[in-house]
Structure 1
């Protein structure tokens, strides 16, 4: 039995209506799914990347967690990397799920394709509160292309605006890259085009290679496979998180 802490990605929160935790619990695992600061309906959006990280370390402390598998989806990869810097003795393994692994000293947004780097600040400037809401067309094709149109629309309604500020702060990941004490896995979804497939600089494998030695687990599915095939993802997370 493992303890999993699942850190969601952009536009999501800890109450995301997928069944991954249920499938993991059926296998006997303990599952936690905290909401990162600045996310969810009605949450204040004035937050920093340090605030993101603190919201997870505070959750870990409140629930007295240790020896857990820490999973980060999408930009959640930047969060779990910095959580591991702060509480390395509590994390058994890091699992990056089609996630950003930012190079030291870069911004999360630097690691995204040029189109997003240009679009997101424009959307934030138009929002009135410096947040980004992903256009449905991008969600439908790049993020959840393995869903039918009805499911794509249903899941889009679950999303909330994403704070821009934490994604444009330069991150000091010196400790993360200096130590490999916490084992690392990368889960790669083969039908995910949120980042350009095969892009040598911004693709998922480019992010994964920054981990050094890591376990690679692959599956078919989009960036939002937790919403389209949660049973398969739960199985793959179990493989990624095992000793």
Structure 2
């Protein structure tokens, strides 16, 4: 039996995993969805990048988990990748779900496609938060109108400091046992940094023919991939 710690991406809380958790538990595994500081029911809690890393480490410690599979979606791949090396031999595997990955000294903002300055300016314009997504932002990602409405209605502004503070890694990320899930509607190829990591012996690629939020669009298929990761497949 493995223990999955499921960390949602930007704007989301633990509720994002509601359709995935039952399948993992039915298969006999532990499933622990986590809301990061400053989001969803934890709104109002001040949070930076390292606070989110600590949220994940603290959850593993609080529940005294072993054989941990850390799952990070989108933004949360950055804190998950850092937490993975900090929990030591409790880690079984990391699963990055169409996510960013950490680079020592880098941040989410530093790899933003329009440049870090533009991203930081947008955060400043929105009171220190990454502005909420709109329904239009979710188009073309394989989501139904109902799924888009659920996402947009429940999303909460994302704390800007978590996106601009640098990651801290003490070992090469490629040393972690990892599965990377690429959602093809969000782009046919992994980013260059992920592609490089996938050339290593400890990383494997799984593709999903859906968009950036597979926990909404294809929760059953996503759960099956996570269960496969628990078996090393």
**TM-score > 0.5, shorter chain as reference:** yes
Whether the 8 Å contact between 2:49 and 2:164 is mirrored in structure 1 is no
Whether the 8 Å contact between 1:82 and 1:176 is mirrored in structure 2 is no
Whether the 8 Å contact between 1:186 and 1:208 is mirrored in structure 2 is no
Residue 192 (structure 1) aligned to one of 183, 186, 189: 186
Counterpart for residue 222 of structure 2: 233
Q: 1:158 to 1:205 in 2, by over 3 A?
A: farther
The aligned length equals 230
Residue 51 in 1 paired to residue 51 in 2?
A: yes
Superposed CA offset, 1:10-29 (max 9, x none): 10111226310111112222
Residue 40 in 1 paired to residue 27 in 2?
A: no
CA distance in 2, matches of 1:95, 1:171: 18
Whether the 8 Å contact between 1:189 and 1:223 is mirrored in structure 2 is yes
Secondary structure at the counterpart of residue 14 of structure 2: coil
Q: Which runs of 5+ in 2 are unaligned?
A: none
Whether the 8 Å contact between 2:70 and 2:93 is mirrored in structure 1 is yes
Counterpart for residue 172 of structure 2: 177
Whether the 8 Å contact between 1:39 and 1:162 is mirrored in structure 2 is yes
Counterpart for residue 121 of structure 1: 120
Q: How does 1:99-178 map to 2 (within 5 A)?
A: 99-114=99-114, 117=116, 120-128=119-127, 130-137=128-135, 139-141=137-139, 145-173=141-169, 175-177=170-172
Counterpart for residue 20 of structure 2: 20
Structure 1 vs Structure 2 CA RMSD: 2.2
Q: Which runs of 5+ in 1 are unaligned?
A: none
Alignment TM-score, normalising by the size of structure 2: 0.88
* Higher relative helix content: 2
In the TM superposition, residue 98 of structure 1 has moved relative to its aligned partner by 0.8
CA distance in 1, matches of 2:109, 2:62: 31
